[in-house]
Amino acid sequence: MTLGEAHEGYIPVTGGRVWYQIVGSGDATPLLVLHGGPGIPHDYLEPLADLAAERPVVFYDQLGCGKSDRPDDVSLWRIDRFAEEVGQVRQALGLAQVHLLGHSGGTMVALDYLLDQPVGVISLIQVGPVLSAPRALADINRLYATLPEEVLATVKRHEAAGTLDSEEYQQAVEEYSRRYMNRVRPKPESSQRASQGVGVQVFHTVWGPYELQVTGNLKDYDRTDRAHEISIPTLFICGRYDASTPEETARYHHLVDGSELVIFEQSSHSPFIEEREHFMQVVGDFLRRVEARLGE
């Protein structure tokens, strides 16, 4: 990532401090980026700094992962506290008006934050959205079933035995990742860095350690009955081969009145890496259109 004008620091939030970084200093409305997991730090999203020529792009690592504090307190790992954290970051950085972009697990945080009707969020971008954990899990199991029979059998065997650290299990999971999470190989350095900074306690508490089942406190998470409450301009994005499938993403799109949907034909769950230039063009155009309408 070419940082250009960038600065970073720490913000006090409920339970500790979170690390943030602001890239760029353009005059357009800032873009606040919510990474996945929860518990998978911002690093893999660094390509979004490409948008910083026009506007500040704000990254932060949610509490419990990356460069942020890691308190040993499982009571902190709740979707409502992560949503509260968004507001605390905005207030500390003076982000009176902001575009909000969530990826994967960050789309849950973004949606729950917006359901409290905060002032000043002028658009929402949901990349690889997960607005229902049960439906996401059903898709994960369906996509795993498309892998070679021996790969699926390996995953099931090791999850039943609890031997998730085995090399055989990791290789089987990597086969799924290569098809449906990020098709670029070798993995970019920023993605490798994100893997090293995962907040394991966070991820296991909210989602769980398994690929084919959800055991964490988000296992019953489903906001499809409230998605219609989103009234700001919204863009849904997924890849043709996305773990957040085009069918499910289209369903979310239809729940939000006036929202837009773009499917990246050569991508899986990481179109900002897999089709980087096209992704930035689509997102940049959307942000500019939103701002132009506000200025009319």
State both tokens at 195. 């893997």
pLDDT of residue 25: 84
Question: Which residue ranges in the chain fall short of pLDDT 50?
Answer: 1-4
Marked catalytic residue, from 61, 68, 103, 104: 104
Q: Per the structure, how many domains does the chain have?
A: 1
CA distance 174 to 158: 14
Domain of residue 96 covers 6-133+189-294
pLDDT (0 to 100) of residue 78: 97
Residues in the chain: 296
> Could you give the CA distance from residue 190 to residue 82 in angstroms, rounded to a whole number?
23
Q: pTM value?
A: 0.95
Predicted confidence (pLDDT) per residue in 151-165, tens digit: 999 999 999 999 999
In this predicted model, what pLDDT tens digit does every residue of 34-54 receive, in sequence order? 999 999 999 999 999 999 999
* DSSP secondary structure string for all residues of 62-130: PTTSTTS---S-GGG--HHHHHHHHHHHHHHHT-SSEEEEEETHHHHHHHHHHHT--TTEEEEEEES--
How much is the pLDDT for 295? 80
Determine the pLDDT at residue 2: 39
221: domain CATH number is 3.40.50.1820
Within a domain: residue 162? no
In 87-246, where do the E strands start and end? 98-103, 121-127, 234-239
Give a yes or no: residue 55 inside a domain.
yes
Catalytic residue among 112, 132, 242, 268: 242
In this prediction, residue 5 carries a pLDDT of: 58
Whether 104 sits among the annotated catalytic residues: the reply is yes
